[in-house]
Amino acid sequence: MELIKDVSVSIQVRLGQWDEIKDQAMPIRLDVFVHEQKVPIEEEVDEMDPLSVHALAFNDAGLVVGTGRLLPDGHIGRMSVLQGYRGLGVGSAVLAALMERAQVLDFSEVILHAQTHARNFYSLHGFEQEGEIFYEANIPHVIMRRRFV
């Protein structure tokens, strides 16, 4: 008998303010950005967190496996998914929830700084690249925009 890994996962996304969710979101951001990608912690934590709408993705066991945020100006950022849950739809669920909130808030578009390795992921969700590659935290990024019209 061959053992096949079950990659199906049920994801629930909840939105909230920083003071409500920071204890659940920060460990994921620290794991992905600071530990895995070597982003200095001073660049990871900023003054925009308390002003943003945050998304938490929970797996079917109730564990937080992904997060992201929507800034007051329509930027989406801090998209992060725990390594073992990548490719299972977690990032798509977080992104969809943040885009839906942006539309509820009457934004005509959202914009983000995508790490270059994630361009295809965002393109699949209707984002288009603008401009050339630039560096944030020593990681190559591109600006990507999605209009809601």
Q: What range defines the domain where residue 39 resides?
A: 12-108
Confidence of residue 45 (pLDDT cuts 50, 70, 90): confident
Whether 25 maps to a domain, the answer reads yes
Whether 77 maps to a domain, the answer reads yes
The CA dihedral of 91, 128, 123, 137, to the nearest 10 degrees, is: -50
Whether 132 maps to a domain, the answer reads no
- The number of folded domains in the chain is 1
Q: Are 121 and 134 within 8 A, CB to CB?
A: no
Whether 46 maps to a domain, the answer reads yes
- Return the DSSP state at 84: G
Is pTM, for the whole model, over 0.85?
Answer: yes
Query: pLDDT digit string (tens) for 50-59?
Result: 999 999 999 9
Are β-strands 128-136 and 109-115 bridged in parallel, bridged antiparallel, or unpaired? unpaired
Whether 119 maps to a domain, the answer reads no
Query: pLDDT digit string (tens) for 118-142?
Result: 999 999 999 999 999 999 999 999 9
CATH number of the domain encompassing residue 99: 3.40.630.30
Whether 62 maps to a domain, the answer reads yes
Whether 123 maps to a domain, the answer reads no
Whether 142 maps to a domain, the answer reads no
